[in-house]
Structure 1
Amino acid sequence: NDETGVGVIHQLQQRAESWAESGIATFVFTSDDYWVLDKLKKNANRMKILSVHDLQRDDAIRAMRRMRKTAYNYNIDTKLVRSLPDLTDDVYEQVYSLIGGRMSHISHISREVDILGAARQLIQTEKAWLLSQIGLIPDMDDDVMDEQKWSSCSWALLAYLARQKTVGSEDEDDESTVPDNMDPAASPHVSFYKARQLMTRTDFLEPLDRLNILSMDVNHNVRMDSHVLLTAAREFVSLPNFDKDLEATMNRVSDIEWLGRTRRLVLTKSV
């Protein structure tokens, strides 16, 4: 997202608009970053926006069953196929509640013998990656203050999404606990305006979108990029010391900033 990149996008858009008007060709632009849509909308005349969503419950479970049968052909009488457990509907329900309906995750999980264990491992892997990007360091050194300012502001928003009980509601009263048994299709979200209020910064959302931690849709709603990341965030937010660590990190950032603005004047008396 710089001057060169925006210029290239505008050149491609001008060519696409010209060819579409002449009936020569139809251009298809795909992106999971919001800034691309924001730049294209300004000069769009013939552009049509199509949003790709995760699968719903029935479609996700059907896809898991079909991919599993493809990976392990049940018509072949081998030791591996005979040893495969007969998965019940409850197992598929649990897997769906953990990973949601993202096709890339379903494709990965369905090829594993123990799909429930693989789903849990995927969440732990994503949580470890998430903490490697925006992990909290309450007792930080002043050299990493800017990084921890971004991390603490990010977790202020992620905690709000993880604890949202009424999807899309921005007037929650009880935000201290994580809800149980929410349908992955009902993805918690807040408006772009509310997200910037929660983070207290206007420039921190785009890096989170670029890292695929958050995503923004055409209606300017901000949500977790995937249900796997949402589940991982809920696990971290549910830890007993999360609120304490978040508050301590924010206080430490404030203290370091205060010290940076403070100047000490020392007067000595010559003898």
Structure 2
Amino acid sequence: MGARRPGRTHRYHSSSATPPSGEDKGKSDGQGQGQGQETGSSGSGGGGENTIWHKMLESAATSFASIVMVGIGFGIAGYGYHLYYKRLVLRKMTIAFEPGDPVLELAAMSRSVPKHIAGNVLDPHFQHPASKGSGDETSDADSDDLDHNESEEDDNDGDDGRGHYWIRRPEQELVNGIVSGLTIGHYHLFIGEKGTGKSSMQLDAMAQIDAEGVAMFDAHADLEIFRIRLGKALNYEFNEDYIGGYFSERGPRETTALLDIERALNKLEKVAVQRRNATRRGYRRRPLVIIVNQMHLIRDDEDGRDLIELLQQRAEQWAASGLVTMVFNSDDYWVYERFKQLAARLEVHSIQDLSRHQAMETLKRYRWRHFGERVDDDMASNIYEQVGGRLTFLNRVVRSKDMLRTCRHIMEAEKRWFLGQCWILGAEMDDDVMDQQKWAAAAMVLAQALVDKEAEEWESKKQEAAEESEAVKNKGSKKALARLRESPQRTWLPSFSLHEAQQIQTRADFIREMDRRNLFTIDSHAQVRASSVPMQWALREICQMPGFRNHLDATVQRIADIESLGRTRELVAKDLVLGGHYEFFSGKKDGGSSSSGSGSKTEVRFRGWSPHERPPRDPPEPGSDDAR
């Protein structure tokens, strides 16, 4: 083995006895090239910077693509959820008009009816009466099915299984046609005193069709509560369950109650259009029915008038198109006055108390069915004379053990209510209660006028009855004579026209507030009368109190005196010159001078002695001390 040559680099290990293979040689060459490149990188900067920017751009592009894909995914998902939510809202509102309604369940519970209704959704044979054919009216057989079978004896509180209670009023057929969708092209306003049976008739009509296509709710003075009740009736959440509300943008609920109500009515219109388009050929296209109860609870202010205007505009549009029929119930006259201003398709229905025959038959049937007691005609007539045909009063009377005692309690309660609201204080009243006493005196003046008119009409009727009795006696008709021998019965309440009542009170702004407080009532024909038969009895008792007319006259005179004192001005003049000439003007003055014909001039002259000049004393009388 020779020695190594100087200057030659030996690249292999000295312990290796075999030369390197091709793979080892390639690896060695690759490592050498990599070391050279690293050396070159550290040595020069141009090529390395290009490589870094390339990597940055590649990372940015990847991130941007990821963001775009995520954004597109969220956008598609959000848009899809938006479309789904809109369809969900319409589907939920459609379910609100399916058969069955919580209002009917509550009504059945309140009336202690264990069975629901004959047209229950569980009944496979149930079919809406308006869907049985395409004719305008129901068949005779269907009408017979809807008639109340009075001879049927059951234990359902007077219910025959179809929602009828107690007695069938003559207006029931009209209400049935409206609620079932047979009557279209108009919207309706039912006016009547509280307790006359407006809501009961509508619930009866809803029970016959199981509330299919009908929604009912009560109004309220607060618009927010009105909005919630409307949403509950329509099964609408006002977008409060929309998932977009979780984000930071302005939510759909950040608005006023009127806008929410408008949004709900827009959705209702879409549901009505879809329902109409989905109706098969050969079937009646029935409108949806919305019943708004207790409209008089809405305040007569700017917000309340805006709400009534909004509802009426929708009612007019939907009545013209036949999509939705809106029904409003009110106890007060002012709601009709608001509707009258824009009414074109409005129909007004006045719901009054039951007639004498209906009330007496109701008393007899209910008393016999639930108490086993037969009420004769004299007792039933006596009860009617005291409480009239108001259903709320009849309900209290027939459920009590002593019916006549309950009648007296009802009349005394009405009397105490009237006296507590508007009793007059007489000539000794203080001037601080001036405004309240004006209102009370106006109520008492109208009450006195109603009582006087009742007495006049009563005497006139008795005179007519006597003349007719004399005529019949001469003809010899025994049946007519027996009928006329019966004492005349009070079957009416005296009334004045609205303008006459305002003239009697000498005020035009008091009568509507009295209507709200159930002291007097104004019907749809603008007739003013006592709110009920017990209230008329209370007015009669008050006006027949000893010394009432003098007490009322003294109160009116005291009010006039206080007003006169308020209009009187006292002038005090100082430092007037004796013998001076002064002029006082009453009226307007133009440019410092009295205007001709616009005022009056009063001339005042002062005569007498001056404090600086003592007047001469009169000569003393004879016999006095001064004469001596």
Fold-level similarity (TM above 0.5) = yes
Q: Work out which of the two has the higher radius of gyration on C-alpha atoms and give 1 or 2.
A: 2
TM-superposed CA distance for 1:68, in Å, is 2.4
Separation (CA, whole Å) in 1 of partners of 2:418 and 2:488: 22
Q: Does residue 390 of structure 2 align to residue 102 of structure 1?
A: yes
- Tell me if structure 1 keeps the 8 A contact 2:316–2:344: yes
Separation (CA, whole Å) in 2 of partners of 1:240 and 1:90: 31
Aligned match of 1:61: 360
- Tell me if structure 2 keeps the 8 A contact 1:57–1:101: yes
Q: Which runs of structure 2 are paired with 1:91-240 in the superposition (5 Å)?
A: 91-138=379-426, 139-165=428-454, 183-240=489-546
Separation (CA, whole Å) in 2 of partners of 1:39 and 1:222: 18
Separation (CA, whole Å) in 2 of partners of 1:9 and 1:260: 40
TM-superposed CA distance for 1:256, in Å, is 1.2
Q: Which moved more, 1:208-217 or 1:128-137?
A: 208-217
Q: How many residues align?
A: 248
Separation (CA, whole Å) in 2 of partners of 1:196 and 1:47: 26
- Tell me if structure 1 keeps the 8 A contact 2:366–2:398: yes
Q: AA paired with 1:135?
A: W
- Per-residue CA deviation, residues 104-146 of structure 1 (Å, 9 max, x unaligned), is 1111111111111110111011100110001111021111111
TM-superposed CA distance for 1:41, in Å, is 1.4
Q: Which has the higher contact order (CA 8 A, sep 6+)?
A: 1
Q: Structure 2: which 5+ runs fail to align?
A: 1-299, 458-486, 577-610, 612-628
Separation (CA, whole Å) in 2 of partners of 1:108 and 1:184: 21
- Per-residue CA deviation, residues 217-266 of structure 1 (Å, 9 max, x unaligned), is 22221111111101111111111211011101101111111122222234
Q: AA paired with 2:550?
A: K
**SS of structure 2 residue aligned to 1:185:** coil
The percentage of counterpart residues that share the same residue type is 38
TM-score (norm 2): 0.38
Cα 1:186/1:265, change in 2 over 3 Å: same
Q: Does residue 330 of structure 2 align to residue 24 of structure 1?
A: no
TM-superposed CA distance for 1:71, in Å, is 4.3
Q: Does residue 332 of structure 2 align to residue 33 of structure 1?
A: yes
Could you say what the CA RMSD is over the residues aligned between the two structures, in angstroms? 2.1
- Tell me if structure 2 keeps the 8 A contact 1:33–1:209: yes
TM-score (norm 1): 0.85
Separation (CA, whole Å) in 2 of partners of 1:224 and 1:12: 31
Separation (CA, whole Å) in 2 of partners of 1:108 and 1:258: 49
Cα 1:234/1:269, change in 2 over 3 Å: same
Q: AA paired with 1:160?
A: A
Q: AA paired with 1:212?
A: N
Aligned match of 2:344: 45
Q: AA paired with 1:49?
A: V
Aligned match of 2:308: 9
Separation (CA, whole Å) in 2 of partners of 1:67 and 1:234: 30
Separation (CA, whole Å) in 2 of partners of 1:207 and 1:69: 41
